Amino acid sequence: MIGTQDASETRPPSGPVIDPDHTARFARAHEDAGFDRILIGYSSSRPDGAQVAAYVAARTERLGLLVAHRPGFIAPTLAARSFATLDRFTGGRVAVHTITGGNDTEQRRDGDYLDKEERYDRTDEYLSILRRAWSSAEPFSHQGRHYRFEEYGSEVLPFHTSGIPLYFGGSSEAAYRVGGRHADTFALWGEPLAETAEQIASVRAAAVAAGRTTPPGISVSFRPILGATEELAWERAHHILETIKSGAGRPFFDQARHHHGQGGPTSAGPTSAGPANVGSQRLLAAAAKGDLHDRALWTPTATATGAGGNTTALVGTPETVARALLDYVDIGATTLLIRGYDPLDDAIGYGRELIPLVRQELAHRRATAAAAPAASSGPSALPAGSAPDPLGSHR
C-alpha cells in the first residue's frame, strides 16, 4: 500500500499532502522489492486514487495498481470508462478494490445518505453494470433500483479480454453476499487462522449461493515486523507499540479517525468511540482474546490504533514470518497484502528478506505438485497447502 505523503501510525506526516517525489520513490521501492501490486487507498479527504495511479504508472514499468473505489459517487458507466482508459494506458496493470463503506459519517462527507444495507444493494447493482460495461461490444440499457440509462456503449474496453480484476473488502454478512457474487478476490484483514478460515468459508458459501462454480480468491493483510533474531524482532515490535501509544503518530490517527468516523484518542484508549465497521470490530475482538495467536500474529498494535485498517502484525525473523504467511496460504489465501509501520524502509526490507522466502517455498510446492503425476499412475492432485503464488498478480 502506498500513499502520497510520508506518514505512519508511528510518526507524524512529513512534507505536503501530495509529495510527487515521495510518491514516485515509494512506488519504485515496491517495484524493486518484487511486489506485484500496490493498493492505493480511498477516503473523503485523500487525493483521488485514479490520478495517483496514473502518476505512479508513468514512473514504474510493471507494478500493478490496485485502486480503491467507493461505488455511488459517480455513475458506473463513467467509472467503467475511467478505469478502462487507465488500464489501456498502463498495458493492463489496473485492478479495482471495491469498498462499499462501513461508516455513515464518512459516507455523508461525500454526500451519501444511504444506510449500510442500501449501500450494499447499490454496490451489487453497480458491479453488475461495471462488469457488463467492460465486456459489452454493443450498446445496452439498464433500469434498476439505483441506476437507469439507455443505449450505453463505450469505445474503450479493458486491455485484457477478461476485463479488470475486481477485489472486494468487507467482513459483514452483506459484504460476503455481494462480494461472494462479484469479486475475483475477496480481501480480509489479518485475524487468527481459525477466524480467517471461518470468513473464507462464509465467502465461499456466498459464492455458491450466487451460483458461482469457482469461488473468489482470498487476500489477507498484515503488518510484518521483522528482526534478524526472534529477540530483535520482538524488541522492535514493542518499540513500535510504545511509539504508537506515545502519540507520535497523532496526526495519522486524526486522519484515520476522520476516515472511520471515530472519536479521538483518550486516556482510555486510541478512540473515544468504537469503530462502526465490522472488520475493525473483529480485529479488536481478536485482540481481546490475547496478544499472540498462532505462529506469529500479534494484536496489541490493533488495540493501540483502534483497528483503523489492517493493523495486526506478524512478528519474528523473516523465516518465521514467511512460515506464518504460508499458514494462511494453507487455509485458502491466494493473495497476501503486506505493509510496514515504517512504510518505505519496510517495503525495501520485505523485498530483501521476506518475499524471496515465500516465493521460494511456493515454487517448491508447485514443482512438487508438477512432479507428482509422474510418480503415480493415479489421478493428479495438488498436495495439501499448494496454491498459486499469493505475492503475484491475481489473474
For 143, the grid coordinates are 433500469
- Cβ neighbours for 246, distance < 8 A, ≥ 6 positions apart: none
pLDDT at position 374: 61
Task: Name the residue with cell 510484518.
Answer: 224
**pLDDT of the chain along its 395 residues, tens only?**
999 999 999 999 999 999 999 999 999 999 999 999 999 999 899 999 999 999 999 999 999 999 999 999 999 999 999 999 999 999 999 999 999 987 889 999 999 999 999 999 999 999 999 999 999 989 999 999 999 999 999 999 999 999 999 999 999 999 999 999 999 999 999 999 999 999 999 999 999 999 999 999 999 999 999 999 999 999 999 999 999 999 877 666 566 555 555 544 433 444 456 788 899 999 999 999 999 999 999 999 999 999 989 999 999 999 999 999 999 999 999 999 999 999 999 999 999 999 999 999 999 999 999 988 765 544 333 233 334 555 543 32
For residues 252 and 5, the answer to whether their CB atoms sit within 8 Å is no
CA-CA distances (angstroms) from residue 283 to 4, 172, 238, 246? 26, 13, 19, 21
For residues 357 and 369, the answer to whether their CB atoms sit within 8 Å is no
pLDDT at position 197: 98
Task: Name the residue with cell 469457482.
Answer: 214
Task: Name the residue with cell 483502534.
Answer: 306
pTM of the model: 0.91
pLDDT at position 375: 59
pLDDT at position 33: 98
Rounded CA-CA distance 122/144 in Å is 10
Q: How far apart are the first and last CA of the chain?
A: 19
Task: Provide DSSP, 334-372.
Answer: -EEEE--SSHHHHHHHIIIIIHHHHHHHHHHHHHHHHHH
94-98 vs 64-69, strand pairing mode: parallel
pLDDT at position 392: 41
pLDDT at position 276: 81
Exposed / middle / buried, residue 63 (Cβ in 10 Å: 0-12, 13-18, 19+): buried
Structural element, H or E, at residue 380: none
For residues 2 and 37, the answer to whether their CB atoms sit within 8 Å is no
